[in-house]
Amino acid sequence: MILHTIVDQNLIWDQQDEGTVETMELVWHSVPVEVTKKDDKILVINRIITTDLLHYLNPKLQPGMEITYTLKSWE
């Protein structure tokens, strides 16, 4: 990324390293997505990892959407 500014670069780039968020990738509705953990059972979609443009139009897969998951028993 190129920033054309007179602001010292240390003021800009030092702020980005403060909060590292752990992400993970999973497949949701047959689409690979990157998510962050909000709660024990809630994940938040960060981005879609696919080349199919139709997946980006799906409102269930928009960044910021929350995914609630539970473990189902195989009985």
Single out the residue of 29, 31, 60, 35 nearest to residue 47, CA to CA: 35
Residue 14 resides in a domain: no
Decide if 42 contacts 67 (C-beta within 8 A).
yes
Put simply, whether the predicted model's pTM sits higher than 0.85 gets the answer no
Residue 30 CA to residue 62 CA, distance in Å, equals 14
Residue 44 resides in a domain: yes
Domain residues for 41? 32-61
Residue 36 resides in a domain: yes
Q: Count up the domains in the chain and report the number.
A: 1
* Tens digit of pLDDT at every position of the chain (75 positions): 677 888 887 777 765 555 677 899 999 889 999 999 988 889 999 999 999 999 999 998 999 999 987 766 444
Residue 60 CA to residue 66 CA, distance in Å, equals 9
Residue 52 resides in a domain: yes
Residue 11 CA to residue 60 CA, distance in Å, equals 37
Residue 73 CA to residue 43 CA, distance in Å, equals 20
